[in-house]
Structure 1
Amino acid sequence: MRFSASRIARRAGFLPLLAVVAVACTVVVDEGPGPRPPRPGPGPQFCTREYDPVCARRGGERQTFANACMAEAAGYRIIRGGACRAEGGWDDEGGQQFCTREYRPVCGQRGGQLRTFPNACEADSAGFRVVDRGPC
């Protein structure tokens, strides 16, 4: 194979032209930063799975949550500790509330009436709100 000076010069002039054409055909697509991640809400981002039930409310709706963190994450305001119950010691599912026999006296209030109960569960079961630890 013979290499002549004119042949090499033709190929040398062709390579830069080929490089310019290749660069001109390159397309860069920039789709931008994409959708923004959701902003963190006022509540916690994750909750433990501990079971420490609370009764919480949002608007006129009451709901029992496994713990306070889960209630706040769902946008509810905690009313009190323990499951939500209807007045008179009956829970939301229609069953009667049962309390332990531990003795930790509390002072409960319903309307203007104050009454001492052996524990907070007994006060709640009777429809009283605990206002103080210990007897009235």
Structure 2
Amino acid sequence: MNTRWLRPLTPWLLLVLVGFGAAGLRYGLVEPPALAQLCTATQAPAWCALRQALVLGFLHEVYGIAAICVAVLALLRRSRVLAWLAAALGVLALQLYNYEPGALALLVGCLRLVHLQGAGNTQVAVTPGR
């Protein structure tokens, strides 16, 4: 079975999964008013600490700052991992209310990843001399 097409597609599929996971956190844990009320009760469940950390993270723009920092690193180094991580953190920042830095990091990460994937596939055509 020829799976040569799967290797370049894998980071993009993982990026989609990160997007679904971030959306799940936002719409399943952060936004529901019933969960917010439950977490303000005197006997709050243990998972409310995770919700509180997520909320504090986007209030202080932690996700956007982290995404921008990794995007800068991705521009400075020729690393597909850093490019993917910048895009993934950008998706997370977009979903968790850090729109501007998240969008920039997603754009930089995706462009850098495309560039690095294309650079790995370059072939020099050799033509006979005249």
Normalised by the length of structure 2, the TM-score is: 0.21
Q: Larger relative CO (CA 8 A, sep 6+): 1 or 2?
A: 2
More helix by share: 2
Say which one has the larger Rg. 1
More strand by share: 1
Normalised by the length of structure 1, the TM-score is: 0.20
